Structure 1
């Protein structure tokens, strides 16, 4: 059996998870990463995506919209800009965010702003596909 570690998922609204888990898959800005007990210390940004939490043979999924993760050998804390259990995702809110991102792409004043808006739009549409 896999060794467990403390995992916390925190959004500005509330603490969603605070328990011992076996593994957490995080949508890091540099790519998806799996965190397990005794992981090397690291801090990473989080992009919009799905966090998968494994414990006792079951898995829970949470949708996040950015933030960062602080990973230590004995714990992992994700501070999300926004987070909700995948079963509770408001599809209308996601559609609104995608529409706003499309408008941001169209309204971008320079190449740098357009690139950022396009990246965020791509992350949101990937997220939308992941929770279908």
Structure 2
């Protein structure tokens, strides 16, 4: 039996993360998922939030957007619209993006349902970035 998981996080732009880890905690659409080696196969939705990958007592914190996770034994593949390592997140930019999306959503009586959903998702991802960045404070 394997003692680690291969975690891969892929966005439309790039493979953001690809490492062997001891465990993963991620934000599932129906609650947090804790994943360890030899996990039962599973396909689930991922919501915007904080992902924690643990390896050798160290934690890597990432913000992830909406997407899907496929778990097959010792492999965890996450396909998401956005992802960023907490070390790479600009807190000020995330706060500004959130404020801008909130303002547009509040003013947008003439926007389509798709535009409103996109703005709501942008707000959730900004919140995920801020949570990931502030994790150790």
TM range (shorter): 0.7 to 0.9
Deviations 1:101-127 (A, max 9, x none): 423255267xx88x9689644664465
Partner of 2:59: 59
The corresponding residue for 1:27 is 27
Contact 2:46 2:69 in 1 (8 A): yes
**TM value normalised by structure 2:** 0.75
Q: Is the 8 A contact 1:28 1:44 kept in 2?
A: yes
Which residue number in structure 1 is paired with residue 108 of structure 2? Answer: 107
Q: State how 1:1-132 maps to structure 2 within 5 Å.
A: 3-102=3-102, 103-107=104-108, 120=121, 121=123, 124-125=126-127, 127-132=129-134
- Uncovered stretches (5+) of structure 1, i.e. residues with no partner: none
1: CA distance between counterparts of 2:16 and 2:4? Answer: 18
Question: Structure 2 vs 1, CA of residues 42 and 21 (structure 1 numbering), >3 Å: closer, same or farther?
Answer: same
> What SS does the corresponding residue of 1:41 show, helix, strand or coil?
strand
Of structures 1 and 2, the one with the larger relative CO (CA 8 A, separation 6+) is 2
Query: Aligned equivalents of 1:105 and 1:32: distance in 2?
Result: 30
Aligned length: 130
Q: Distance in 1 between matches of 2:35 and 2:99?
A: 33
Structure 2: how far apart are the matches of 1:57 and 1:118?
37
1:54 Cα offset (Å): 0.8
Whether the aligned pair in 2 keeps the contact of 1:48 and 1:127 (CA below 8 Å) is: no
In angstroms, what is the RMSD of aligned CA positions? Answer: 2.9
